[in-house]
Amino acid sequence: MLDVMKIREDFPVLSKKVYDGKPLVWLDSAATSQKPRRVIQALVDYYEGYNANVHRGVHALSMESTERYEDARAKVAGFINAESPESLIWTRNTTEAINVVANSWGEDNIKPGDEIVVTALEHHSNLVPWQQVARKRGAKVRILPLTDDHTLDMDAAESIIGPRTRLLAATQVSNSIGTIVPVKELAKKARAVGAAVLIDGAQSVPHMPVDVQDIDCDFLAFSGHKMLGPTGIGGLYVKRDVLERMNPFLTGGEMVLAVSYEDATWNELPMRFEAGTPNIADAIGLGAAVDYLQDLGMENVRDHEIALTKYALDAFKELEEELDVHGPKDTVMRGGIVSFHHPDVHPHDLGTVLDRQGIAIRTGHHCAMPMVQSLGVAATARASMYLYNTEEEVDMLVDALKEALRYFRV
Ligand code: PMP
C-alpha cells in the first residue's frame, strides 16, 4: 500500500495554494503529472554539476554526462522490461515516438491494400500519423469498436484483424474515458496474422507494470512528463530485430558513423535514431522518475489507483441523476480516469467553477475527438488521478461539482 501523505511531501507543487488560499487539488495527471523533488534535483545536479554534451567529449564532464545519460536509458529500458537498453530510443514524447515509427517503419512496410488497425479509443497521436501513412501508401485504417460498456469489443476484433492487417496500433489505456485495452490478447491476434504491433503506453507506463516482452509488441511509445519525469523526453521501445531493419527518420549529426561529401553510414543502435544533441538533462530526470516509481512499486501504484477509482465511481453515484459518467463500470478494466458530462452545462463551465475551488481537471475533447464525439458530446470533463491523490480530494471534487450544479441551477 502507498503512504500517500508521505508521497505528497515529495511533490513541492502539491502544497501550493491557489486563488484565496485554496489548496491545489491536482486531478489532471493524464495531461501531465507533477514532479517529485528527486526529479527536480536530478535536473539541478546535471546543470550545476556536469553539464556537457554526450558521446563526443574526451573530458571529465562529457564522460560523466554520457555515463549518467546512458545509465538513465538502461533504467527506463529496464522499467518496461526491454531486452536491452539499445532497444530504447529517446524521443520528445509519445507523439514523436509514434511519428518515428510511422515515418520510418510505416513508410517502408505499409503497402497498397494493407490495413492498419487502431481502436476507437485512440488519442490523435495514434490516429493521425496512421491516416497519413495510409493515404500515402494506399492503405486503409480500420477501427476496433467498443461495447456498450465502453470496453473493447473483442468479438469485432476477431473479424477485423485479418490477413490484410499489417499493423495493430492500440492504446493500452484510453486518456479520454479510462478504458484498459487487453493489448496482450490483441497482440496475439495480430501476431497470428503476421501483423506488427504498436502500443501507445502514454497512459499505461506511468500507472501500471508494463512489460514489452510479455505483451510481445514491436513498438511501445510513452511520455516522460506523464510519469513524474520532465517534459520534452519520452521513449520508443523497438524490438531488436525490427530496429535493426529500420531506416532512420531524422539524419544529421550523432546518428552517423562515417560521412563523405557523397554519402554516409549509420551509427550503432540506438544512436542511429537519435540525430543531433539529445535532451540529456531530461533523460537523466526521467531516470530519476523511474527510480522513484520503482521504489514505490508499480503494483502498488496500480492498486492505489484501482482503490481510488472505485472510491470515485461510488462517490459519483450521488450525482448519477445529473451527470453521465463514461467508461467501463469495472475498475479492473479502467485506469484512474473519470470522464463525465452534464447534458445542460458545458464542461468548460464546470471546469472553470471547479478551478475557483482550487480543483484542476481537464475539459474538452482530450485530443480524442472521434472517441468523445462517439459519446454523443463535443467535450467532457475529466478528472485523472495518480499516486499522490487521496479520497479527500475525490470528496472535494464531488462536493465542488454539487455546488457547481447548484450554481448553474440544474
Ligand atoms: N496517447 C495518449 C493515450 C495520451 O494520453 C497522450 C497525451 N494526452 C498522448 C498519446 C500524447 O502524448 P504527448 O503529448 O506527450 O506526446
The domain limits of the chain are: 4-30+297-409, 40-295
Residue-wise pLDDT for 223-265, tens only, equals 999 999 999 999 999 999 999 999 999 999 999 999 999 999 9
Active-site pick, 298, 367, 369, 377 = 367
CATH architecture assigned to 4-30+297-409: Alpha-Beta Complex (3.90)
Calculated CA dihedral for residues 370, 376, 381, 387, nearest 10 degrees: -60
178 Rama class: left (phi>0) / alpha (psi -120 to 50) / beta: left
Q: Is 93 in the pocket of ligand 1 (CB under 6 A)?
A: yes
pLDDT of residue 206: 98
Side chain identity at residue 79, one-letter code: F
367 belongs to the catalytic site: yes
CATH architecture assigned to 40-295: 3-Layer(aba) Sandwich (3.40)
pLDDT of residue 97: 98
Q: Is the pLDDT of residue 409 over 80?
A: no
Q: Is the pLDDT of residue 44 over 80?
A: yes
- Residue pair 116/167 in contact by the 8 Å Cβ criterion: yes
Q: Is 384 in the pocket of ligand 1 (CB under 6 A)?
A: no
Strand (E) or helix (H) holding 177: none
Residue-wise pLDDT for 158-200, tens only, equals 999 999 999 999 999 999 999 999 999 999 999 999 999 999 9
10 Å Cβ neighbour count for 155?
10
What cell numbers appear for 328 in the block? 467501463
Which residue in 406, 395, 409 sits closest to 359, CA to CA? Answer: 395
Q: Is 94 in the pocket of ligand 1 (CB under 6 A)?
A: yes
Sign, CA torsion 73/78/82/84 = positive
**CA 343/CA 336 separation, integer angstroms:** 23
Q: Is the pLDDT of residue 410 over 80?
A: no
- Residue pair 407/324 in contact by the 8 Å Cβ criterion: no
> Which of 28, 101, 123, 363 has most ligand 1 atoms within 8 Å of its beta carbon, as the pocket-test mutant?
123
> Which of 130, 203, 228, 366 has most ligand 1 atoms within 8 Å of its beta carbon, as the pocket-test mutant?
203
Sign, CA torsion 330/333/339/341 = negative
Distance 10 CA to ligand 1 centre (A): 25
Q: Answer yes or no: pTM beyond 0.75.
A: yes
Q: Is 29 in the pocket of ligand 1 (CB under 6 A)?
A: no
Show Cβ contacts of residue 374 under 8 Å, excluding neighbours closer than 6 positions.
120, 146
3-class DSSP assignment, residue 219:
strand
Is the link from the previous residue into 270 a cis peptide, with omega within 30 of 0?
yes
Sign, CA torsion 57/277/197/77 = positive
Show Cβ contacts of residue 86 under 8 Å, excluding neighbours closer than 6 positions.
240, 243, 268, 269, 270
Q: Which residue has the cell 564532464?
A: 61
Distance 324 CA to ligand 1 centre (A): 24
pLDDT of residue 130: 98
**CA 404/CA 189 separation, integer angstroms:** 46
**CA 354/CA 350 separation, integer angstroms:** 6
What cell numbers appear for 111 in the block? 503497402
> Which of 93, 174, 236 has most ligand 1 atoms within 8 Å of its beta carbon, as the pocket-test mutant?
93
Sign, CA torsion 355/386/89/287 = positive
**CA 169/CA 149 separation, integer angstroms:** 22
**CA 261/CA 143 separation, integer angstroms:** 46
Q: What is the mean pLDDT of the chain?
A: 96
